[in-house]
A and B are shown apart, each in its own frame.
Chain A
Amino acid sequence: MDFAAKHIEFVLACYGISAALLVIMTIAVVLRSKQHDRQLAMLEKARGRANNSKKAAS
């Protein structure tokens, strides 16, 4: 690629914007998935503890 070519700033802007948005979208999807995994694990742990203490009480 010739970086001194005419209109090269438009090409670089296209690749820059595409890379930035695709990376941000990927990070957002991964973080959201991890957050839900963590939240579910915590809830199930808490539920397990509550069930155990109910059994012990009865």
Chain B
Amino acid sequence: MARIEKFANPTRFLRLQEAVQPWVTVITVLLFAAGLYFALVKAPADYQQGETVRIMFVHVPAAWGATMVYMFMAVSSAVAVIFRHPLADLSAKAAAPIGAVFTFLALVTGALWGKPMWGTYWVWDARLTSFFVLFLLYLGYIAVWQAIDDYHRAAKIAAVVALVGAINVPIIKFSVEWWNSLHQPSIMSTSGSSVHSSILVPLLIMVAAYSFLFLTLHLLAIRSELRKRKIQQLQLAQAQEV
């Protein structure tokens, strides 16, 4: 906890962010370039799915990003509630729009894969429905911050939404095992992967690319939130002087 607290200081965080930002940006661009090359050029078409297998290289990373970001928000909210870490609320708030975009992309790319493979864009199946609930949770979380002016009150209510909503993440993960689902089970498990390396390598590179994109945008978004808070403090001080 002492290490986390070290970066609780906004000035120290901004110094770190300025030093790290160019590196994570370059890594993100390189990962996307390599991932797209492998996904669109090197990976073979599937013997059953044909070229539609390439949808997996954007669908799976988006779905991974959506759940990973939500768990990150829930952990940040827990840290904010328990330890009153001054950056934890901001961190969760800054992550939400990025997670919402990932979730939307996972839903849309999943629907576009479903039409040629299942014959329909959408079914109210356990995995799809729980993922749609995740999208609603993101929207609800963002709406709380937009609707409440008092920062501390908004942070508290938003943290409750993030923590209660975290129950949905294991439901998403295990929905394909708990219920009869049209969605295929996980291709990765502790015992290894059921996918050939020609498909697995681009998939893992794209997952890394989406994760680094989140890191890049999240660092910038926290910086932006810190600046916004400082602007509000200065405007308030100016108004009091007048």
Contact = CB atoms under 8 A, between A and B. Distances in A.
A7 B213 contact: no
B112 A14 contact: yes
A10 B213 contact: no
B101 interface: yes
A22 interface: yes
Given A21-B105, A36-B228, A40-B230, A7 B51 contact: yes
Main secondary structure of the interface of B (DSSP, over half): helix
Interface residues on B, range: 35 or more
A8 B112 CA distance: 11
B227 A10 contact: no
Contacts, number: 92
B105 to A, nearest CB: 6
Contacts of A44: 234
Contacts of A11: 51-52, 54-55
Interface of A: 1-2, 5-8, 10-11, 13-15, 17-18, 21-22, 25-26, 29-30, 32-33, 36-37, 39-40, 43-44, 47, 50
A37 B230 CA distance: 10
Nearest to A17: B108
B224 A5 contact: no
24 contacts: A1-B54, A2-B45, A5-B45, A7-B116, A10-B52, A11-B54, A13-B112, A14-B55, A14-B58, A14-B113, A17-B108, A18-B58, A18-B62, A21-B105, A25-B101, A29-B217, A29-B220, A32-B221, A36-B227, A40-B227, A43-B231, A43-B234, A44-B234, A47-B234
